[in-house]
Chains A and B, each alone.
Chain A
Amino acid sequence: MNFPFLSVIALTPIIMAVLLLAFPEDRKSEVRVAALAGAAACLGLSLWVYFTYDVSAGGYQFVEKFAWIPKLGIEYHVGVDGVSNPMVLLTGIVIFTGVLISWGIDDRPREFFAFLFILASGVFGVFVSLDLFQLFFFYEIAVFPMYLLIAIWGWKVTREYAAMKLTLFLFIGSVFSLIGALAMYFAIGKATGVYTFDMLKIAEAQAAGALNFNVSLFGSMIPFERLWFPIVFFGFAVLGGIYPFHNWSPDGHVAAPTAVSMFHAGVLMKLGAFAALRVGIMLMPEGARFHLPWIYVLTFINVVYGSFIAMRQTDLKYMIGYSSVSHMGLVSMGFATLNYHGYLGAAMQMFAHGVMTAMLFATVGMVYDRAHTRQRDELGGMAKKMPWVMAGFTIAALSSMGMPGFAGFMAEFPIFMGGWSAGQPGANFVAPYYSWLTIISAIAIVITAAYLLIAVQRVFFGDISEEHDHHVGDVTVLDKVAITTLATAMIAVGVFPFLMGPMVKSGIEAALRVFGGS
């Protein structure tokens, strides 16, 4: 048997968490070093998996499969394909950089890193799950540490409120999806006689027509998938920040400590989008085909409305928070096009936005730690004091506004292409307003450029206030390593698209096959 890479990646953090909790309370530096070692191991392994994945073969690789609760058809089943592989790498990058920039946490670092690692385990677990039960299992593991991380180490002003709001929103979403998944499980079981949570088998059964029946709702008969698709999809998409269920997200981002904001905006929101794709769209394609046209309108609101609100913010963290809502809207928008370019862009955007937003939160956190304010207009001239931070923020901003040469361009451009062509005659299904909404939403990119460039100019250039001139110093070496890691990922994918493009392509082609080819 081959080395179980994916299990090791998914379980290392949680085992690390238990080990960390066993450290004596006052050994703070040992805790930090151990945490860094664990995170580095995760990053190393995910890099290994990423680069040894055989793109030409495609499909699910590094598969491991064991019976878990056989009486219910529950298995431990992991594997990565072209869509989830970049996500695993993203999580590796974010946990590594997150530990680096959390070095300065002095209040109970042992518990902090332990909870952060439990969160990481949940996230890795969802990305590699091929079993529906297992997916929910890890999904919930990823939800609850957020509460503690934000409530204990967050921004004192709003942390308790924001933490509770976030946890309840996500929990509500996931349990509704869970009921939908159970309905699907029993429907498939009744139709085929095989009760299984294996997503690949569910997809096969669906393709064979096991879900083609009507269920009665208040006396009228509705096709099964049309009834359940929105429940499952929105249940997950809450975590992806879809309008109108997005407003937990900026509050959560702002209240969270820096590493958690990075995790949260960088990885966790992708978890929602990813699960909505895997469970919602791929397992119930007929429901998706029926509902996505109107969901497209919601994602359009996400993109445009998110960017306008971001424009209005003067608190940098709120600005990036709403910017995340807007950019995650692009991901759902890509999914809602149901065509090749849209999906390619959406999958790329999940990675690109993850790295970029992690960088934005990291750099803003560094500024805040030293200047003790996040108000854009109170800052200035930071470039002199911390040039690395300026460079990092600017790179992320350029990527975010879709500048060629950065990861964001590789992602956002195809989404707009997909949106445009979905509205043209001869598309997968015709919904003429797609093209128009796409044109308008492209404006959001201009807005993004505006607020990010204003932020760069106000925060890093101009005159530094006297107080800041005295007190603010440069960031540590560890911070610089984190910035470099994130910047490398963004530029590498932007300049050498072949590092990610073909892999993502192989993944989304499989996803689109359920819609009868792209």
Chain B
Amino acid sequence: MNFVDFQAAHILTLIPEITLILLIPLIMALDVIWPESRRRQLGLVTAIGFFAAIVLALVFSVPNGENALLFGGTLRNDLASFLFRVIFMFAGGITALLSLDVEGLGRKGEYYAILVGCVIGMNFMASAADLIMLYLAIETASIGLYVLAGFLRDDDKSTESGLKYFLFGAMTSTVMLYGFSLLFGYTGETNLYAIAQSLKNGDVPTATAIAIALMIAVGVGFKVALVPFHFWTPDVYEGAPTPVTAFLSVASKSAGFAVLVRVFLIALDPGATQWSPLMTAMAAVTMTLGNFLALPQRNIKRLLAYSSIAHAGYAMLGIVALSKDGLAATMFYLLAYVFTNLAAFTVVILFSRVAGSDEIADYAGLSRRSPGLALAMLVAFLSLGGMPPLAGFISKFFVFAAAVQSNLIWLAMVGIINSIIGLYYYLIVLKVVYVKPAPEGAPLIEIPRPYVFALGVLCFAILFAGTAATPWYNWAVDAAKSLF
């Protein structure tokens, strides 16, 4: 533990969050000042704000390697949290771009303001090193997300999605809070690293420790959509506005993983708590159920919802391997998944703008209506399916390698069988896109310029992470080391 007294320089680590906090009033003010016709640019302002925050973070806030506990131990300044924060801000920026031309979202200042608020919450989720700070951060992010999911007030599906998400979220978060309180009660500590020490000293009976792990797993499992806490996923993903779904599936999931990694690998020390058989089983079941339930789906958003459950299972492989290499693999996996899934959802958004449908059958003939969009979909879906030279292949390779390294060969086998099932349904979608003829007189699909930019960046990132994986992987390895 490396507690550091407050110094003015510590403020620098919070530069990105401060930027985002300033962004909120700016958006609200512009929303009031600008006439309706100019409000489309709110999304651009938000996106630029996010990317500016990333640049400022890279300039001022890169951790110095001391892994110090700042602000009385509430935040930990390490590379892992930094990496996660950059991921969230990137996802936020892309989501803002994707929302521009979406009916009911794109011209609303409050939508972008809440989005920024969620990202602030997630940033603190990733860096929190204290139970109270952690819980506050989780709620900051979650409450915003509930609102976003139900943002389209006049759309029954969206309101249902928001309510469902809220009810499930509130319940699981309460259980987790109870776990936190037990943890505090037994150890007398709120700092995660102090709790770890206390657990190693044997202050908590093993059975109680497992019960605590289980309770916290409820809350975190809900966030990352692990089976059996996944029930909300398909309904919420389907009903929420698609940019919000995209954001949920990448940023919220990664934030959940950031918490999971820190709480389970650090605070609930796996040597002292023995949660790994439980989590291993959950990973195997999550992959399998997610993939099997994706098979019969007819709606692309539901398909991607189940696929995101399955991907949470793959990402868990690196965590249950209980090694630093495994943790690095999971981090790399999440990075690749953010690019890939955002690209997939971008295609969904663009398609439904023109076609007004999310049914897979309606994607017939997309390759003739827009060859570029079809190609982007090919890249995104093959990456989800784990095909080289795309990011999905190499990230799956890393997590399977981590599992084999830790002698979890059966789990790796479950993983590869699942990736075969996964490939099957991704290919079915691509078949519709490329093989089926377009309906008579279907209009060509135009792509607005901000979307071209977003899609270009994402596809390039997928290819780049899939071939020149070295710098990304090195970051992931360093980040994994910095956590301990």
Contacts and interface: CB of A to CB of B under 8 A. Distances in A.
Chief secondary structure at chain B's binding surface: helix
A171 B400 contact: no
Nearest to A174: B416
Contact of B382 (A68, A70, A136, A144): A144
A222 to B, nearest CB: 13
A108 B367 contact: yes
Contacts of A182: 400-401, 404-405, 412
B473 A71 contact: yes
Give the contact-size bracket for chain B.
20 to 34
Interface in A127-183: 133, 136-138, 140-141, 143-144, 147-148, 151-152, 159-160, 163-164, 167-168, 171-172, 175-176, 178-179, 182-183
B416 A69 contact: no
Contact of A111 (B371, B409, B431): B371
A67 B470 CA distance: 9
B355 interface: no
B397 A71 contact: no
A172 B423 CA distance: 10
B397 A141 contact: no
Given A137-B393, A168-B420, A179-B416, A160 B431 contact: yes
Contact of B435 (A72, A151, A178): A151
Contacts of A172: 420
Contacts, number: 83
B413 interface: yes
Interface residues of A, number: 39
B163 interface: no
A27 to B, nearest CB: 13
A179 B470 contact: no
Contact of B434 (A14, A67, A148): A148
B455 interface: no
A175 B416 contact: yes
A368 interface: no
A153 B469 CA distance: 34
B188 interface: no
Nearest to A138: B388
Contact of B427 (A72, A164, A176): A164
A147 B393 CA distance: 17
B397 A178 contact: yes
Identify the interface centre among B371, B388, B470: most chain A CB within 10 Å of its CB. B388
B409 A183 contact: yes
Given A178-B400, A179-B400, A148 B430 contact: yes
Contacts of B427: 147, 164, 167
Contacts of A160: 431, 435
Interface string A106-120: 001001000000000
B375 interface: yes
Contact of A167 (B423, B435, B470): B423
A369 interface: no
A140 B375 contact: no
A186 interface: yes
Interface in A402-444: none
B174 interface: no
A102 B387 CA distance: 26
A118 B282 CA distance: 38
B474 interface: yes
B424 interface: yes
Contacts of B371: 25, 111
B424 A141 contact: no
Contacts of A176: 416
Interface in B144-170: none
Contacts of B400: 178-179, 182
Given A151-B431, A152-B435, A164-B427, A186 B404 contact: yes
Contacts of B473: 69, 71-72
A110 B141 CA distance: 46
A137 B388 contact: yes
A21 B404 contact: no
A70 B389 contact: no
Contacts of B401: 72, 182, 185-186
A281 B333 CA distance: 32
B286 to A, nearest CB: 19
Nearest to A172: B420
B15 to A, nearest CB: 30
Closest 10 CB pairs of A and B: A175-B416, A182-B404, A137-B388, A144-B387, A140-B388, A69-B470, A151-B435, A141-B388, A186-B405, A182-B401
11 contacts: A21-B375, A71-B477, A108-B367, A111-B434, A136-B388, A141-B387, A147-B430, A164-B427, A168-B420, A175-B419, A179-B409
Given A141-B387, A168-B423, A186-B401, 18 more contacts: A71-B477, A72-B473, A111-B371, A136-B397, A138-B388, A141-B388, A143-B387, A148-B434, A151-B431, A151-B435, A168-B424, A171-B420, A171-B423, A172-B420, A178-B397, A179-B400, A182-B405, A183-B404
